[in-house]
Amino acid sequence: MGCPDPASCCYSCWAVYNLTMVDRNALFMYSPELESLPYPEDHPFNTKRARRTRELAESRGWLSGPGIQVEAAEPAARMDLKKVHSARYLHAFKSSAEGVWQSEAMGMGLGSSDCPMFEGVFDHAVFATGMTLFAARRLLAGEVDVAFNPSGGFHHAGREQASGFCYINDVAIACLTLADAGKRVVYLDIDVHHGDGVANAFYGRADVMTISLHEDPRVLFPGTGFVHEIGKGAGEGYCVNVPLPIGTYDMGYQNAFEALVLPLIKAYGPDVFVLEFGADALAGDPLAHLQLTNNTYVEVITQLLGFGKPILMTGGGGYQMENTVRAWALGWRVLCGTADEAAGPVPWEALLDEEVEIPDLQRETVSRTVSQTVEQVKEKVFPYHGLS
Q: Could you list the active site residues?
A: 156
Contacts of 76 (CB under 8 A, 6+ apart): 126, 127, 129, 130, 133, 168, 170, 173
C-alpha–C-alpha distance, residues 63 and 332, integer Å = 9
Indicate left, alpha or beta for 49 from its phi (over 0: left) and psi (-120 to 50: alpha): alpha
Instruction: Provide the sign of the torsion angle of the four alpha carbons 262, 265, 269, 272, taken in this order.
Output: negative
For residue 161, what are the CA distances in angstroms to 86, 116, 320, 383? 10, 13, 26, 33
Residue among 98, 375, 93 at smallest CA distance from 256:
375
Helix (H, G, I), strand (E, B) or coil at 300: helix
Number of neighbours of residue 36 by Cβ within 10 angstroms: 11
Residue among 362, 302, 259, 337 at smallest CA distance from 67:
337
For residue 27, what are the CA distances in angstroms to 143, 183, 310? 9, 20, 11
Number of neighbours of residue 126 by Cβ within 10 angstroms: 23
The H-or-E segment that residue 244 falls in is: strand 239-244
> Are the beta carbons of 54 and 330 closer than 8 angstroms?
no
Local structure of residue 271 (DSSP, 8 states): S
